[in-house]
């Protein structure tokens, strides 16, 4: 089944009252804050949003977002791909005071009259990205990629004498 782009300008209260589920995709062009953060996409983001009301008459949105992100590994500074699946249970609120009264199982979603599902998906991704992304396997930089008794790789600088070795001579 092919799904289209995530819609913009939706009335979340009306969707929650009807119990609607919306699935869609988002491209990098629809997620400008990801670009600003230096995050790329390997493929389209896929989002699913289930709208409902709870026994307290709150408007709820259950999100599920899947993405394959392109980041820079903070260990080797090479490109890495991070598969990401995230989800949360949000309650629509219209003020900070409403957000403070929510139970612990619900996250506040500060909304106006109309909401953009791309922005909600983007926020979910930004909150789930690790602060210092690294490869899951050991990534080895050029300088560490050879054993001490081997020759360094082409283009790698040989070990230099430490500038502090002079201090060792002064100690004696």
pLDDT tens digits, one per residue of 110-169:
988 888 999 999 999 999 998 888 887 777 654 444 455 555 555 555 566 777 777 777
**Does residue 92 lie within any of the structural domains?**
yes
pTM, two decimal places = 0.75
Sign of CA dihedral 21, 26, 31, 35: positive
By three-state DSSP, how is residue 6 classified? coil
**Does residue 154 lie within any of the structural domains?**
no
**Does residue 37 lie within any of the structural domains?**
yes
**Does residue 112 lie within any of the structural domains?**
yes
Let me know how long the chain is. 172
Range of the domain at 39: 12-140
**Does residue 47 lie within any of the structural domains?**
yes
């Amino acid at each position: 089944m092919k799904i289209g782009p995530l819609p913009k300008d939706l009335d979340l209260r009306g969707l929650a009252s009807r119990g609607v589920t919306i699935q869609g995709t988002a491209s990098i062009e629809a997620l400008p804050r990801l670009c600003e953060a230096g995050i790329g996409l390997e493929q389209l983001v896929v989002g699913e949003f289930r709208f409902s009301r709870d026994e307290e008459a709150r408007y709820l949105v259950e999100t599920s977002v899947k993405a394959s992100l392109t980041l820079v590994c903070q260990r080797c500074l090479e490109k890495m791909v991070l598969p990401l699946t995230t989800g949360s249970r949000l309650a629509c609120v219209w003020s900070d005071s409403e957000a403070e009264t929510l139970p612990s199982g619900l996250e506040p979603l500060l909304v106006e009259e109309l909401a953009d599902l791309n922005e909600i998906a983007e926020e979910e991704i930004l909150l789930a990205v690790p602060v210092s992304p690294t490869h899951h396997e050991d990534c080895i930089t050029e300088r560490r990629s050879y054993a001490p008794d081997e020759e360094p790789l082409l283009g790698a600088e040989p070990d230099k004498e430490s500038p502090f070795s002079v201090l060792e001579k002064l100690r004696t």
